[in-house]
Protein backbone atom coordinates (compact mmCIF):
# COMPACT_ATOMS: atom_id res chain seq x y z
CA UNK A 1 0.00 0.00 0.00
CA UNK A 2 1.23 3.47 -0.84
CA UNK A 3 2.09 5.72 2.05
CA UNK A 4 -0.97 7.09 3.82
CA UNK A 5 0.48 10.60 3.99
CA UNK A 6 -0.31 10.75 0.27
CA UNK A 7 -3.37 8.47 -0.08
CA UNK A 8 -5.45 10.18 2.62
CA UNK A 9 -5.25 13.72 1.14
CA UNK A 10 -5.87 12.38 -2.39
CA UNK A 11 -9.00 10.54 -1.24
CA UNK A 12 -10.21 13.63 0.62
CA UNK A 13 -9.65 15.85 -2.42
CA UNK A 14 -11.65 13.43 -4.59
CA UNK A 15 -14.47 13.64 -2.00
CA UNK A 16 -14.67 17.41 -2.64
CA UNK A 17 -17.16 18.74 -5.19
CA UNK A 18 -14.84 20.78 -7.42
CA UNK A 19 -13.56 21.27 -10.98
CA UNK A 20 -10.14 19.80 -10.10
CA UNK A 21 -9.19 17.71 -7.04
CA UNK A 22 -5.50 18.27 -7.83
CA UNK A 23 -6.11 22.03 -7.57
CA UNK A 24 -7.65 21.42 -4.13
CA UNK A 25 -4.43 19.67 -3.11
CA UNK A 26 -2.16 22.26 -4.71
CA UNK A 27 -3.98 25.17 -3.10
CA UNK A 28 -3.51 23.54 0.31
CA UNK A 29 0.19 22.92 -0.35
CA UNK A 30 0.56 26.51 -1.47
CA UNK A 31 -0.93 27.82 1.76
CA UNK A 32 1.22 25.48 3.84
CA UNK A 33 4.29 26.50 1.82
CA UNK A 34 3.71 30.20 2.50
CA UNK A 35 3.02 29.59 6.21
CA UNK A 36 6.15 27.49 6.48
CA UNK A 37 8.38 29.92 4.57
CA UNK A 38 7.38 32.78 6.87
CA UNK A 39 7.12 30.65 10.02
CA UNK A 40 9.00 27.50 11.00
CA UNK A 41 11.50 27.83 8.12
CA UNK A 42 12.87 31.00 9.68
CA UNK A 43 14.57 28.73 12.26
CA UNK A 44 15.77 26.13 9.73
CA UNK A 45 19.33 27.02 8.67
CA UNK A 46 19.32 24.61 5.68
CA UNK A 47 16.08 26.05 4.33
CA UNK A 48 17.35 29.61 4.80
CA UNK A 49 20.56 28.86 2.89
CA UNK A 50 18.55 27.50 -0.03
CA UNK A 51 15.90 30.22 0.06
CA UNK A 52 18.64 32.86 0.13
CA UNK A 53 20.00 31.22 -2.99
CA UNK A 54 16.90 30.57 -5.13
CA UNK A 55 14.22 32.75 -3.50
CA UNK A 56 10.58 32.62 -4.62
CA UNK A 57 8.54 33.12 -7.80
CA UNK A 58 6.36 36.17 -8.43
CA UNK A 59 3.12 34.30 -7.68
CA UNK A 60 4.39 33.08 -4.31
CA UNK A 61 5.84 36.50 -3.40
CA UNK A 62 2.33 37.81 -3.98
CA UNK A 63 0.91 35.29 -1.49
CA UNK A 64 3.71 36.01 0.99
CA UNK A 65 3.11 39.74 0.68
CA UNK A 66 -0.57 39.21 1.52
CA UNK A 67 0.42 38.05 5.03
CA UNK A 68 -0.21 41.07 7.32
CA UNK A 69 2.96 40.87 9.45
CA UNK A 70 5.83 41.85 7.15
CA UNK A 71 8.77 41.12 9.50
CA UNK A 72 9.41 37.51 8.41
CA UNK A 73 9.08 38.50 4.76
CA UNK A 74 11.51 41.40 5.25
CA UNK A 75 14.08 39.08 6.90
CA UNK A 76 13.73 36.62 4.00
CA UNK A 77 14.11 39.39 1.42
CA UNK A 78 17.05 41.01 3.23
CA UNK A 79 19.23 37.88 3.13
CA UNK A 80 18.06 36.82 -0.35
CA UNK A 81 18.97 40.23 -1.77
CA UNK A 82 22.43 39.95 -0.20
CA UNK A 83 22.94 36.69 -2.12
CA UNK A 84 21.65 38.20 -5.38
CA UNK A 85 24.13 41.08 -5.03
CA UNK A 86 27.00 38.64 -4.36
CA UNK A 87 26.06 36.77 -7.55
CA UNK A 88 26.05 40.01 -9.52
CA UNK A 89 29.46 40.94 -8.13
CA UNK A 90 30.87 37.76 -9.66
CA UNK A 91 29.93 39.08 -13.12
CA UNK A 92 31.19 42.59 -12.56
CA UNK A 93 34.68 42.15 -13.95
CA UNK A 94 33.55 40.36 -17.11
CA UNK A 95 30.70 42.80 -17.80
CA UNK A 96 32.56 46.04 -17.17
CA UNK A 97 36.03 45.28 -18.54
CA UNK A 98 35.43 43.40 -21.74
CA UNK A 99 37.07 44.69 -24.85
CA UNK A 100 34.94 45.58 -27.81
CA UNK A 101 34.43 42.52 -29.96
CA UNK A 102 33.70 42.42 -33.63
CA UNK A 103 30.18 42.49 -34.99
CA UNK A 104 29.94 38.70 -34.97
CA UNK A 105 31.65 38.09 -31.64
CA UNK A 106 29.10 36.86 -29.10
CA UNK A 107 28.86 38.85 -25.93
CA UNK A 108 29.44 35.98 -23.49
CA UNK A 109 29.51 38.21 -20.40
CA UNK A 110 25.95 39.32 -21.15
CA UNK A 111 24.80 35.75 -21.70
CA UNK A 112 26.30 34.54 -18.44
CA UNK A 113 24.83 37.45 -16.52
CA UNK A 114 21.36 36.81 -17.87
CA UNK A 115 21.70 33.11 -17.05
CA UNK A 116 22.43 33.94 -13.43
CA UNK A 117 19.48 36.32 -13.30
CA UNK A 118 17.17 33.78 -14.95
CA UNK A 119 18.02 31.29 -12.19
CA UNK A 120 17.02 33.85 -9.57
CA UNK A 121 13.81 34.64 -11.46
CA UNK A 122 12.78 31.02 -12.06
CA UNK A 123 13.75 29.55 -8.71
CA UNK A 124 11.13 29.15 -6.02
CA UNK A 125 11.30 27.25 -2.73
CA UNK A 126 7.51 26.89 -2.58
CA UNK A 127 7.12 25.73 -6.21
CA UNK A 128 9.90 23.22 -5.65
CA UNK A 129 8.17 21.64 -2.64
CA UNK A 130 4.76 21.73 -4.37
CA UNK A 131 6.14 20.04 -7.50
CA UNK A 132 7.66 17.27 -5.43
CA UNK A 133 4.49 16.57 -3.42
CA UNK A 134 2.14 16.95 -6.42
CA UNK A 135 4.19 14.31 -8.24
CA UNK A 136 3.68 11.95 -5.28
CA UNK A 137 -0.06 12.73 -5.29
CA UNK A 138 -0.39 12.06 -9.03
CA UNK A 139 1.51 8.84 -8.59
CA UNK A 140 -1.03 7.88 -5.91
CA UNK A 141 -3.99 8.76 -8.17
CA UNK A 142 -2.73 6.27 -10.76
CA UNK A 143 -2.00 3.68 -8.06
CA UNK A 144 -5.40 4.01 -6.35
CA UNK A 145 -7.27 3.88 -9.67
CA UNK A 146 -5.52 0.60 -10.45
CA UNK A 147 -5.89 -0.92 -6.97
CA UNK A 148 -8.83 0.55 -5.07
CA UNK A 149 -12.36 0.07 -6.54
CA UNK A 150 -13.74 2.72 -4.16
CA UNK A 151 -11.35 5.27 -5.58
CA UNK A 152 -12.20 4.27 -9.12
CA UNK A 153 -15.84 5.10 -8.36
CA UNK A 154 -14.85 8.45 -6.86
CA UNK A 155 -12.81 9.16 -9.96
CA UNK A 156 -15.83 8.44 -12.16
CA UNK A 157 -18.02 10.75 -10.06
CA UNK A 158 -15.43 13.57 -10.14
CA UNK A 159 -15.59 16.47 -12.61
CA UNK A 160 -12.23 15.76 -14.23
CA UNK A 161 -9.22 18.04 -13.84
CA UNK A 162 -8.06 21.47 -14.92
CA UNK A 163 -6.04 21.30 -18.14
CA UNK A 164 -2.63 21.98 -16.54
CA UNK A 165 -3.14 19.09 -14.08
CA UNK A 166 -4.66 16.89 -16.80
CA UNK A 167 -1.55 17.53 -18.87
CA UNK A 168 0.83 16.79 -15.99
CA UNK A 169 -1.00 13.61 -15.03
CA UNK A 170 -0.98 12.44 -18.66
CA UNK A 171 2.73 13.15 -18.72
CA UNK A 172 3.16 11.10 -15.55
CA UNK A 173 1.29 8.20 -17.21
CA UNK A 174 3.93 8.34 -19.93
CA UNK A 175 6.53 7.60 -17.25
CA UNK A 176 4.51 5.04 -15.24
CA UNK A 177 4.37 1.40 -16.15
CA UNK A 178 0.88 -0.14 -16.33
CA UNK A 179 -0.95 3.18 -16.67
CA UNK A 180 -2.37 2.71 -20.20
CA UNK A 181 -5.88 1.85 -19.02
CA UNK A 182 -5.86 4.73 -16.57
CA UNK A 183 -4.74 7.17 -19.28
CA UNK A 184 -7.63 6.06 -21.49
CA UNK A 185 -10.12 6.52 -18.61
CA UNK A 186 -8.57 9.90 -17.74
CA UNK A 187 -8.87 11.10 -21.32
CA UNK A 188 -12.49 9.92 -21.64
CA UNK A 189 -13.39 11.60 -18.35
CA UNK A 190 -11.73 14.89 -19.33
CA UNK A 191 -13.43 14.95 -22.72
CA UNK A 192 -16.86 14.49 -21.12
CA UNK A 193 -16.21 17.16 -18.50
CA UNK A 194 -14.93 19.70 -21.05
CA UNK A 195 -18.13 19.13 -22.99
CA UNK A 196 -20.18 19.79 -19.81
CA UNK A 197 -18.24 23.04 -19.22
CA UNK A 198 -18.77 24.04 -22.85
CA UNK A 199 -22.54 23.61 -22.45
CA UNK A 200 -22.49 25.83 -19.36
CA UNK A 201 -20.37 28.62 -20.84
CA UNK A 202 -22.39 28.58 -24.05
CA UNK A 203 -25.64 28.74 -22.12
CA UNK A 204 -24.20 31.70 -20.20
CA UNK A 205 -23.72 33.61 -23.48
CA UNK A 206 -27.28 32.73 -24.60
CA UNK A 207 -28.76 34.24 -21.44
CA UNK A 208 -27.73 37.67 -22.73
CA UNK A 209 -30.18 37.34 -25.61
CA UNK A 210 -33.47 38.96 -24.54
CA UNK A 211 -35.38 36.10 -26.14
CA UNK A 212 -33.82 33.76 -23.58
CA UNK A 213 -34.63 35.91 -20.56
CA UNK A 214 -36.87 33.24 -19.04
CA UNK A 215 -34.48 30.37 -19.67
CA UNK A 216 -33.36 28.61 -16.48
CA UNK A 217 -29.72 29.23 -15.54
CA UNK A 218 -29.24 25.64 -14.44
CA UNK A 219 -25.57 25.21 -13.63
CA UNK A 220 -24.46 28.01 -15.99
CA UNK A 221 -24.61 30.96 -13.59
CA UNK A 222 -20.93 30.79 -12.51
CA UNK A 223 -19.72 29.33 -15.81
CA UNK A 224 -17.03 31.99 -16.60
CA UNK A 225 -15.00 31.38 -13.42
CA UNK A 226 -15.40 27.61 -13.67
CA UNK A 227 -14.36 27.64 -17.32
CA UNK A 228 -11.22 29.61 -16.46
CA UNK A 229 -10.51 27.20 -13.60
CA UNK A 230 -10.91 24.32 -16.00
CA UNK A 231 -8.65 25.79 -18.69
CA UNK A 232 -6.01 27.49 -16.56
CA UNK A 233 -6.30 26.52 -12.85
CA UNK A 234 -7.78 28.65 -10.07
CA UNK A 235 -7.19 32.39 -10.25
CA UNK A 236 -8.70 33.48 -6.93
CA UNK A 237 -7.00 33.09 -3.56
CA UNK A 238 -9.94 32.07 -1.40
CA UNK A 239 -10.88 28.42 -0.90
Residues that bind Zn ion (CB under 5 A): 20, 22-23, 57, 60, 124, 126-127, 162, 165
Instruction: Determine contact, residues 129/33, Cβ cutoff 8 Å.
Output: yes
61 touches 73 (CB < 8 A): no
35-54 core/surface letters (b: 16 or more CB in 10 A; e: else): ebbbeebeeeeebbeebbeb
Query: Nearer to Zn ion by C-beta: 98 or 122?
Result: 122
Least distance in Å: CB of 161 to Zn ion? Answer: 5
Distance CA 152, CA 31 (A): 28
**Cβ at position 132, least distance to Zn ion in Å:** 13
**182 Cβ contact list (under 8 Å, min separation 6):** 142, 145, 146, 173
Judged by phi (left if over 0) then psi (alpha if -120 to 50, else beta), residue 233 lies in left
Nearer to Zn ion, 43 or 235 (CB): 235
Closer CB to Zn ion, 162 or 186, in the complex? 162
Q: How far is the CB of 56 from Zn ion (least distance, A)?
A: 6
From residue 185, alpha-carbon distances to 25, 84, 165, 208 in Å are 21, 47, 15, 36
Q: How far is the CB of 186 from Zn ion (least distance, A)?
A: 13
Q: Closer CB to Zn ion, residue 44 or residue 121? A: 121
Least spacing, CB of residue 100 vs Zn ion, in Å: 40
Q: How far is the CB of 130 from Zn ion (least distance, A)?
A: 7
CA triple 92-96-100, angle to 5 deg = 140
DSSP readout, 24-57? HHHHHHHHHHHHHHHTGGGG-HHHHHHHHHH---
Which phi and psi (to 5°) does residue 157 adopt?
Answer: -80, -20
Q: Which is nearer to Zn ion, 214 or 239 (CB)?
A: 239
Q: Which is nearer to Zn ion, 62 or 90 (CB)?
A: 62
Q: C-beta of 203: minimal distance to Zn ion in Å? A: 23
Closest CB to Zn ion among residues 94, 183? 183
Altogether, the residues listed in the chain come to a count of: 239
Amino acid sequence: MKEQIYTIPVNEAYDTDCECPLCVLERKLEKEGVDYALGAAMMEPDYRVESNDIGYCRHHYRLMFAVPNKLSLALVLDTHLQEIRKKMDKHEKAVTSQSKGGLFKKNTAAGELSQTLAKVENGCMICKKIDYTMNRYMDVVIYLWNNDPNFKEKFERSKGLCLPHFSRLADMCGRTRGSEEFLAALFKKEKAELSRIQEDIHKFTLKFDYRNQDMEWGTAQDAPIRTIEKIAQYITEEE
